[in-house]
Amino acid sequence: MLYEPLGLQGTQSILVLRDVAKMRVGKVSVVCPSLCVEVTELVFLERRAVAGGTQLMVGKRRENRESVSNSQWDWRRFPHIHGFTLVELLVVIGTIGVLLGLLLPAVQASRESARQTQCLNHLKQIGLAVQNFHAQRNELPPSRNYDHYTSWAFLLLPHLEQAALSDEWDDSLKYYYQSDAARLTAIAPYFCPSRRDANIHSTRGDDILSPYETSGHVPGIVSDYACSAGHGPSGVWNWIYSNGAFIMGEGITDPETVPDGNFAPPNAKLVTWKSRTRFASLTDGTSHTIIVGEKHVRPSRQGVAPEDGAIYNGDHPANFSRCGGPGYPLARFPTDRFQTNFGSYHVGGCNFVYADGSVHVVNVDISTDLLGRLTHRNDHQVIDAF
């Protein structure tokens, strides 16, 4: 039952009366001089001795359940009014927990779908950059323009609206002698949002591979994408005999590299280079040939060359290229122990861009035979719908 404060004498249902020491809680009848009326049917709620008499708190019984604003109440003087019980509170908390349990997976799935769409968009940009590169030079980007120099990822920068960054690179020098700005500057299209942020540098392993010279680790920006080197035995999959769309370029150094394509001499400068493939080389058709896809990187190896070293370093093939086909299945999980395979952090599928610029999500359960037909540029094998 609620009690309505009367606001007597401007002090909100508090009366100071004399000779009421023997009053008991119950109905009282008093006269309110300030209101000039006799107030009856009061319920005596509280009695407190004060100077000059006894302070009474009284309230008029309310027969309806109309709400009373907080400004009319002194809540501390009504201890008989209760809030939620413990059982009610636990029921509310339990209900909220159930609703969150139902809602959270849907929110996470929606976010992952958005991230996968963004990843496909990045690959689409790379595919368009390849188209523009070919239109300008009448050739596809090489996986690396020459051993120890740079990779396809840096060669595409002018076609990804990064001409200023491309100008930071000295084309004649090996990766290890480039400026920090050229090696360490990240661009968003080379990262998958489901895996990591777009500003990760290699932490170890990017040192020169050569019998003629040595170097310490030279860090560079990494990437979540790699070009397709086709498939084949170890030692061939990213050399001049690779069967993928992007393979090592043909170059001339000063002093001369002997044999051609092998380790460039110390302090050698790259005089000129050209690619070994073009769209005409993809005799299986541009719509049936993978050029770039998501590269598999174990969480424990992120930033570590050669599995995930600097994407611009043309010295370590596993930094910038991957294989797919017999002996090179798609990684099913991020922790699969592969170093040169394609793989994704998206559940159930791996994203690729084909030579015609189209993007596709390939199921991780695809047969290695069919995957090999997609990565091989000219095996003349029929590709069924999948």
Task: Please report the pLDDT score of residue 385 as a whole number.
Answer: 66
User: What's the pLDDT tens digit per position in 124-157?
Assistant: 999 999 999 999 999 999 999 999 999 999 999 9
Q: What is the pLDDT of residue 81?
A: 53
Q: How much is the average pLDDT of 36-43?
A: 41
The tens digit of pLDDT for each residue in 242-297 reads 999 999 999 999 999 877 667 888 889 999 999 999 999 999 999 999 999 999 99
Tokens of 138: 């009448």
pLDDT for res 237: 66
* 91-120: burial string, b at 16+ Cβ within 10 Å, e else: eeeeeeeeeeeeeeeeeeeeeeeebbeebb
pLDDT band at 89 (very low <50, low <70, confident <90, very high): confident
CB 352 within 8 A of CB 323: no
Determine the pLDDT at residue 306: 87
- Prediction pTM value: 0.73
What is the predicted pLDDT for the residue at 357?
A: 96
First to last CA, the chain: 73
- Give the residue-averaged pLDDT of 327-352: 94
Give residue-wise pLDDT tens across range 357-374: 999 999 999 999 999 999
What does the pLDDT read at residue 36?
35
* pLDDT at 21 (0 to 100): 41
pLDDT at 16: 43
What is the model's pLDDT at position 71? 47
**Residue-level pLDDT at 351:** 98
pLDDT band at 199, cuts 50/70/90?
A: confident
Per the prediction, the chain carries an average pLDDT of: 81
> How large a percentage of the chain has pLDDT more than 90?
58
Q: What is the pLDDT of residue 74?
A: 53
pLDDT (mean) for 372-382: 91
Q: Give the mean pLDDT of 24-31.
A: 43
